Amino acid sequence: MWHGSHNFPLHLILHDEWFRNGAFADGFRKPSNRFFREVYERAASRLCVSPYMEESYRKSYGSKGTIFYPSRSHNAIVHTSPPDRLLDEACQPVAMYAGNIFQVDYLKSMQCVADVLATVGGKLVLYTSRSKADCMRDGFDSRQRGVPRDRRLE
């Protein structure tokens, strides 16, 4: 139970490691980590989106989580086979990353993936909350390394 004034159970769903990804000043890292530890330990359930995240949090905070993979809407389009264009031998590989890019190091990792894909004529498509201009400012060259998309799926 969460020890608030109403004593409601807290069910914590963890998608990102906010305290590791966030742009915290050094003086805020330890207090924010202590706060997170308290919340994590007191939660009635801890739902982590990957086995790696559950293991990492269990080792760091001593409380077991439950793996809760991201899901999709009940009325989402279901594809039973790849599109015909992928059967073409001349098809160029395309990889996609959809998620937050909080730090420049994440963007550098995406650049490395895009560089490898470019060697075989492929490209990387990014769907992120960062604007294309921000990605470009931080060194992501869309002509050579992929196509950052501004906040939307196409």
For 143, the 3-state DSSP assignment is helix
For residue 79, tell me if it sits in a domain: no
Q: CA 7, CA 123: separation in Å to the nearest integer?
A: 50
Sign of the four-CA dihedral 58, 62, 66, 71:
negative
Range of the domain at 101: 90-150
Backbone angles phi, psi at 137, to 5 degrees: -60, -35
What is the predicted pLDDT for the residue at 151?
A: 41
Question: What is the value of pTM for the model shown?
Answer: 0.48
For residue 136, tell me if it sits in a domain: yes
For residue 81, tell me if it sits in a domain: no
Q: Are 34 and 28 in contact (CB under 8 A)?
A: no
Within 10 Å of residue 53's Cβ, how many Cβ atoms? 19
Q: Please state the domain count of the chain.
A: 2
pLDDT-based confidence at 25, cuts 50/70/90?
low
